């Protein structure tokens, strides 16, 4: 464990990460944000520890390993946290290192489109990592589309809740991201309904590849949100000492919403699987019907072809070759045979 005092000894501080990496560094005391400006996040943390109350909220965007090492020096982060924070594409999880909790939630964004045929790469995922202890929370976003719009305003409008500490900020972030899951699940419902209408409309033509593409998008969302339920359960049950009772209740509400969203998305995945089966069956029936029609037409043409082939043989003593009206008789027989076959095939729904 890196000493939390390192980096502030003798009045020196580690160099702050560049402005594009650090998005915010704020100090909250008794639920209110201090207007005082600090030279660095290390100074902000030193002020909180001098007061013996409040917490620092440091927000970062895609930090490099060097940036995280600097932050680790100031906040005393465990080296394994630094390693995970730099590496993106983490599964939703909760890990505990002494008094520090590392909490990962995947973000999901939905790309608006006019028609289901435009549903290509409509789901994009990112990652929000949270490292919190009793006097600080560090939020790390991976992916520019993971912007947490309006979160600061939400937190500062409720000082009583903000006074509960860093875990309250972690709950607000998780709650906002999971609410987005529910919103996206409602949007996907319209796409699935549209595909079902296309598949089950009689005599309709549809592109089964579009079903596969939407299923791929839903699978990507499932991989991002399904593991969060077990992570939230572990956070609520196994880390009660770092979560106030009120915050645990709020996290249970987030867990309920996550389960609802995951169930809905899983239901859409199952509906699409059934839709693929139905689509394949419908295509197979259409192909069988087409082949049957082709076979019927070939059969109708086979009889006149056979008769013409027989009378086209070059033999001098074939019967009826000298009949005055033999040509018309043969044509009549051909026409009658074709009409009889057409009626019979039509009666049996081959044509």
- If pLDDT is split at 50, 70 and 90, which confidence band does 294 have? confident
Mean pLDDT across the stretch 242-258?
A: 93
| Whether residue 303 sits in one domain with residue 235 | no
Does residue 16 sit within a domain?
no
pLDDT of residue 198: 83
| Whether residue 245 sits in one domain with residue 112 | yes
In degrees rounded to 5, what are phi and psi of residue 153?
-65, -40
CA-closest candidate to residue 137, choices 86, 90, 99, 87? 99
- The number of distinct structural domains making up the chain is 2
109 beta partners: 124
Residue 49 pLDDT greater than 60, yes or no:
yes
Does residue 10 sit within a domain?
no
Q: For 88-115, how does the pLDDT look when each residue is reduced to its tens digit (9 = 90+)? A: 778 899 999 888 999 999 999 888 776 6
pLDDT of residue 20: 65
pLDDT of residue 301: 82
For residues 143 and 107, the answer to whether their CB atoms sit within 8 Å is: yes
Residue 285 pLDDT greater than 80, yes or no:
no
Q: For 65-76, how does the pLDDT look when each residue is reduced to its tens digit (9 = 90+)? A: 888 899 999 999
| Whether residue 302 sits in one domain with residue 258 | no
Higher local confidence (pLDDT), 277 or 287: 277
Q: For 188-200, how does the pLDDT look when each residue is reduced to its tens digit (9 = 90+)? A: 988 888 888 888 8
Note down the domain range covering 319: 291-348
| Number of C-beta neighbours around residue 122 at 10 A | 22
pLDDT of residue 111: 83
Q: For 130-164, how does the pLDDT look when each residue is reduced to its tens digit (9 = 90+)? A: 999 999 999 998 876 666 767 878 888 888 888 89
CATH number at 311 reads: 1.20.58
Q: Which of 281, 313, 331 is the last residue of a domain?
A: 281
Residue 261 pLDDT greater than 90, yes or no:
yes
Residue 54 pLDDT greater than 80, yes or no:
yes
């Amino acid at each position: 464990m890196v000493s939390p005092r390192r980096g502030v000894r003798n009045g020196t501080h580690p160099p702050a990460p560049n402005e594009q990496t650090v998005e915010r560094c704020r100090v909250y005391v008794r639920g209110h944000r201090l207007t005082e400006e600090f030279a660095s996040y290390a100074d902000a943390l030193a002020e909180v520890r001098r007061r013996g109350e409040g917490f620092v909220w440091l927000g970062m965007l895609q930090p490099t390993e060097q940036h995280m090492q600097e932050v680790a020096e100031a906040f005393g982060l465990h080296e394994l946290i630094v390693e995970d924070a730099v590496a993106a594409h983490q599964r939703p999880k909760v890990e505990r290192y002494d008094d520090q909790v590392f909490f990962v939630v995947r973000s999901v964004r939905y790309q608006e489109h006019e028609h289901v045929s435009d549903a290509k790469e409509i789901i994009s995922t990112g990652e929000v990592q949270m490292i919190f202890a009793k006097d600080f929370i560090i939020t790390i976003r991976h992916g520019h589309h993971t912007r947490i719009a309006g979160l600061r305003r939400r937190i500062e409008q409720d000082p009583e809740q903000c006074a509960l500490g860093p875990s309250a900020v972690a709950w607000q972030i998780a709650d906002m991201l999971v609410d987005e899951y529910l919103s996206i699940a409602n949007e996907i419902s319209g796409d699935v309904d549209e595909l079902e209408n296309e598949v089950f409309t009689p005599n309709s033509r549809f592109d089964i590849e579009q079903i596969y593409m939407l299923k791929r998008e839903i699978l990507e969302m499932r991989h991002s949100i399904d593991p969060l339920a077990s992570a939230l359960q572990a956070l609520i049950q196994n880390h009660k000492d770092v979560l106030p009772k009120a915050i645990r209740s709020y996290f249970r509400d987030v867990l309920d919403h996550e389960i609802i969203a995951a169930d809905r998305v899983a239901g859409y995945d199952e509906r699409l699987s059934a839709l693929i089966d139905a689509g394949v069956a419908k295509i197979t029936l259409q192909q069988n019907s087409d082949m049957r029609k082709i076979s019927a037409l070939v059969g109708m043409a086979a009889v006149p072809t056979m008769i013409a082939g027989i009378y086209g043989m070059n033999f001098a003593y074939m019967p009826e070759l000298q009949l005055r009206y033999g040509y018309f008789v043969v044509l009549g027989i051909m026409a009658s045979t074709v009409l009889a076959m057409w009626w019979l095939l039509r009666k049996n729904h081959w044509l």
